[in-house]
Chains A and B, each alone.
Chain A
Amino acid sequence: MSKATQVPVRRAGHTDLESTRRTPAPPAGDLIDSPRFPVQAKVELGNPVQRKNLHHAMTTIRAKRTKVAAELDNWEDLRLAGEAIKNRTLRHLDQYLVQLEESLTAAGTTVHWARDAQEANAIIVGLVNEALGDAEGDAREVVKVKSMATQEIDMNEALEEAGIAAWETDLAELIVQLGHDRPSHILVPAIHRNRSEVREIFLEEMGRYGRPAPEGLDTEPANLAGAARLHLREKFLRAKVAISGANFAVAETGTLVVVESEGNGRMCLTLAETLISVVGIEKVLPTVEDLEVFLQLLPRSSTGERMNPYTSLWTGPTAGDGPQTMHVVLIDNGRTKVLSDPKGREALRCIRCSACINVCPVYEKVGGHAYGSVYPGPIGSVLTPQLRGVTSPVDASLPYASTLCGACFDVCPVRIPLPDLLVHMRHKVVEGKKAKAEADGLKGLLHPHAEPAIMKATAQVLSSPKLWAAATAAGSLGGKALKGRVAKFGPLPWPLSKWTNARDVPIPPTESFRAWYARTHHEDGSLK
């Protein structure tokens, strides 16, 4: 078998224009096989255009959020309410899900349950095939509203394999799709691109997948949006099937809610004949009244707006108006596993607003591609390793992709204690490392199990007053030995180079604090 044929068609990469793909191919490989965070972060740091784009965009969106959150004098009460409602819902999730199924069914929506990505995709492909009937060629397609759940299960690629084209209709998702790229943010997926790059992508790619970009397209945002509007319009008007996610699913009434900014969602939700909504089981809310809290928290936290431009609520099909066939696919895909961890389950409160990502100083430096995860930033670093487990190199590195500065918790609209969860996940990674070191026996003393041994030795010194006092004396001896010889440490060899490549370090002092205190004070605190 030649090397080329070992690569599945769906990951052929965009240079392979002869493939039978219907939609632009995303980058090769699966996200879970991504390099460890520090490795990819270094690559991303080397992209000055992206760094500039991210800094500009994140600074703007942070300022907007801060301003609109401060407008409400009951903002902290809303956060507490959001936390409480989600906690209560998750505590009784089994009951609310059954109630949701009953309400959805009563409203004329067909409910499907999927344990994992594979089951979900099989259900969705089956439903689309059923809706398309004997349609052929270009007609074998669906239009999509932006949805994290479908990203998580890699639905577009599953449809592609079944010969069905899934067209992204959110402007930024369109940029990402046409750019053979991956989203780098959950709210603004093309945040890493500037308008010159968007113009190039549109001119190069639009014609291959539908209506070409107008000749002479410039970089004016309005003109770029206009080009997308024309390109998408023919797809909206043609597609018989639309696929959406849902921001909320109301158990009491069987109502689904989509919150969006561009109106592309409204087009998908109303123009198609069949609507399939893919919904994570943690999206359920008990009552319509609960939306009062979340429709304030979500737009202010995410886009920094008082209210988003389009909020669609629908409760099953309406005769003669909009899609006449509606399906909901409720997906678990690791969520019940997260729910079984009393600490880790706090991450399930997440409403995908992205406030934690926008405020994260680590994310701002490297962007979303460094995380090897559909969900980047602080929430991705605690959620993805729970959904996928901490066995892959990238998943084991994600909980460490944070300085624990705590800015994320302060902005989280449902008060997820992200720094605590990052530490909690680090603990899980360490437990895994220790178990492996033990299983490996003597081999475990060597790299890559060195860290547990170093930490154990450090802990022994730090929990023994005698050993610690000896260590402080040794530090002062070092300072004395260096005094007068070196003013400071410049670049040092590995592993100290990690610190000294960009920073100077002062030499240790010649006297520790405890030595000074003993020289100047009696034990009772009186001066000598």
Chain B
Amino acid sequence: MTITSPTTQGRPAAGAAGAGKTVALFSTCANDVMFPQAPMATTQLLERLGCRVVFPKKQTCCGQPLVNTGYYDETVPIVRNFAETFAEYDYVVAPSGSCVGAVRHQHQMLADHAGDAGLRRVVDGVVARTYDISEFLIDVLGVEDVGAYFPHVVTYHPTCHSMRVAHVGDRPMRLLQAVRGITIRDLPDADRCCGFGGTFSLKNPDVSVAMAADKARNVASTGAEYLVAGDNLCLLNISGVLRRQHSGILPIHIAEVLASTEEAS
């Protein structure tokens, strides 16, 4: 399936769907340091839709790299910091299905592991108000067409944790399909893992590379210019192989696609 959206002018802009809403942006630690374009795009996109975007400076990380390696005790203070940092906000939004999945699926378990009922109460509240950008746009703001323009051929990799932990479903694809000028090519074996797996890529480097090579081959077979995903570390893994192979296919976070406009291009 290839979808090409019409480049028609004058479609109604998403307008001020976010008017009156204050969003606390959780940039995620990896994006903060390594991929600032994704949270920048998220900020600009949400502001374009009328939201006020604040960045609570106390934020660090969701703790996933540690808990998924088996370090529970060490992760508890990270969970506490996350919960305290974001407790006062109605909407916590992150450009990462994986980090949102970790908050949603692991923070309560870790509060229980710490035996801290008070922390568990705070965590319960924050978890219920934490969204991946695709969920916030569709479920809270009620927009699918965010007024984006991206005249390129792309393929979309649904990252494992966005699908199977955060359960973002088809939201990212619906958002992409509404982008003007975009051509979306089906990615073969899209639902297969790219082999990143956090510390898996260091503990099992050979298997990780074998899996990444499969994914890169499938991406290259689409003939896309851009590989789009909602998680930058999966993109780093796949595009690392694509770059080594001089494929010319560029990784891009879905928030950057959605933030692109005709004026900006």
When A361-B195, A488-B243 are in contact, do A517 and B55 touch as well, CB less than 8 Å? yes
Instruction: Determine if A93 is an interface residue (Cβ-Cβ < 8 Å).
Output: no
Partner of A471, one of B33, B59, B212, B240: B33
**Contact across chains for A511 and B36 when beta carbons are under 8 A apart:** yes
Instruction: Determine if A88 is an interface residue (Cβ-Cβ < 8 Å).
Output: no
CB distance from B87 to the nearest CB of A (A): 15
Partner of A365, one of B55, B66, B78, B211: B211
Task: Please measure, in the bound complex, the distance between the C-alpha atom of A339 and the C-alpha atom of B206, giving whole angstroms.
Answer: 35
Q: Which residues between 161 and 205 of chain B lie within 8 Å of chain A, taking CB atoms?
A: 161, 163-165, 191-193, 195-205
* CB-nearest residue of chain B to A452: B71
Task: Please measure, in the bound complex, the distance between the C-alpha atom of A462 and the C-alpha atom of B33, giving whole angstroms.
Answer: 13
**Which of A37, A406, A501, A524: most chain B CB closer than 10 A?**
A406
**Which of A41, A459, A516, A521: most chain B CB closer than 10 A?**
A459
CB distance from B218 to the nearest CB of A (A): 12
Partner of A469, one of B57, B75, B161, B204: B57
* CB-nearest residue of chain A to B189: A59
When A405-B193, A423-B67 are in contact, do A45 and B210 touch as well, CB less than 8 Å? yes
Task: Please measure, in the bound complex, the distance between the C-alpha atom of A45 and the C-alpha atom of B200, giving whole angstroms.
Answer: 16
**Contact across chains for A516 and B36 when beta carbons are under 8 A apart:** yes
* CB-nearest residue of chain A to B244: A504
Q: How large is the interface on A (under 10, 10 to 19, 20 to 34, 35 or more residues)?
A: 35 or more
Instruction: Determine if A458 is an interface residue (Cβ-Cβ < 8 Å).
Output: yes
**Contact across chains for A427 and B32 when beta carbons are under 8 A apart:** no
Partner of A502, one of B63, B70, B202, B212: B212
Partner of B59, one of A399, A458, A461, A465: A465
When A361-B192, A365-B211, A403-B211 are in contact, do A459 and B74 touch as well, CB less than 8 Å? yes
> Which residues on the A side are within 8 Å of B240 (C-beta)?
499-500, 502-505
CB distance from A133 to the nearest CB of B (A): 52
Q: Which residues between 75 and 123 of chain B lie within 8 Å of chain A, taking CB atoms?
A: 75, 77-78, 80-81, 85
**Contact across chains for A525 and B33 when beta carbons are under 8 A apart:** no
**Contact across chains for B74 and A404 when beta carbons are under 8 A apart:** no
Task: Please measure, in the bound complex, the distance between the C-alpha atom of A512 and the C-alpha atom of B35, giving whole angstroms.
Answer: 8
**Contact across chains for B207 and A516 when beta carbons are under 8 A apart:** no
Instruction: Determine if B29 is an interface residue (Cβ-Cβ < 8 Å).
Output: yes
> Which residues on the B side are within 8 Å of A409 (C-beta)?
164
**Which of B32, B39, B78: most chain A CB closer than 10 A?**
B32
> Which residues on the B side are within 8 Å of A429 (C-beta)?
70
Q: Which residues between 451 and 472 of chain A lie within 8 Å of chain B, taking CB atoms?
A: 451-452, 455-456, 458-459, 461-465, 468-469, 471-472
**Contact across chains for B27 and A514 when beta carbons are under 8 A apart:** yes
Measuring CB to CB, which residues of chain A are less than 8 angstroms from any residue of chain B?
Answer: 37-38, 41-42, 45, 361-362, 365-366, 399-407, 409-410, 419, 423, 425-431, 451-452, 455-456, 458-459, 461-465, 468-469, 471-472, 475-476, 488, 490, 495, 498-506, 508-509, 511-514, 516-517, 521, 523-527
Measuring CB to CB, which residues of chain B are less than 8 angstroms from any residue of chain A?
Answer: 22, 27, 29, 31-37, 39-40, 43, 47, 52-55, 57-61, 63, 65-72, 74-75, 77-78, 80-81, 85, 160-161, 163-165, 191-193, 195-213, 236-237, 240-241, 243-244
